[in-house]
Amino acid sequence: MIGFKGKGHNRGAAMIETLFVFPVVMFLGFAIVHVGFIYQAKTNLEYAALMGARIAAVSDLSDPSSFVKIRNEIRERMKAFDPTENPVDSVDESSKVLIRIVRPNRQIFTDWGRAADSCPSGLCRIPNDNLLYRDASRKNNVSIQEANILKIEVSYKVDTKVPFMRELFKVDNAADMFLPEAEANPDFGTPGIWVTTDAVVRMQTDPAVSGATNTFFDGYP
């Protein structure tokens, strides 16, 4: 009887240990899958951002419709990772993509904008013609050739669909990703986490900004 009780006690202890360990192992498994999806999304987004930057390089960035084209291109490229039955230009799909022009910034437009333009408050363009034949002078350590380098930052909202993880990291705004209210309020935001990358290309048209598009540019009020 003593031996039988010992075996039963061991079996009970093993069951209790399993009850404690299994949720932890399951959570770690979900976390690994979640991180894997995020890494895949980041890889896809790097290529999508480059394609979006190539469109931006030949577009008039003072026209808001140019950013619609860029956003749609990025969403289209992300369909391999995040398929959708909705049009890529629908509100739900386009809201997954945030675009920010990091370069040229306000200072570059102020220094190199055309003299006849209203820089930087209104429509402002930087000359792009005959760059190789322009002088090598620099303003604030930036040449006219460097002023025509475009750096675009792209953020994409990824919903991995992984249980627990998708709810744990849900936010609606990229800037709010790590705010205390996102952690304190379980109803804050919708499932998804923002992944961000950037791409650099040379402009093929005049870099331009206007009052209608300055919200896309870093450093513009």
pLDDT in tens, 175-188: 666 666 655 665 66
Describe the crossing of helices 64-77 and 2-57 by its angle, rounded to 10 degrees: 140
Q: Phi, psi at residue 75, to the nearest 5°?
A: -65, -40
Determine, yes or no, domain membership for 97: yes
Determine, yes or no, domain membership for 221: no
Q: Which domain holds residue 68?
A: 2-216
Between CA 40 and CA 174, with CA 92 as vertex, the angle to 5 degrees is 60
Domain count for the chain, please give it: 1
Per the document, the length of the chain is 221
Name the range with the highest mean pLDDT among 10-14, 20-24, 104-108, 119-123.
Answer: 104-108
- Whether the model clears a pTM of 0.85, i.e. scores above it, the answer is no
Question: pLDDT tens digit string along 205-218?
Answer: 999 999 889 889 87
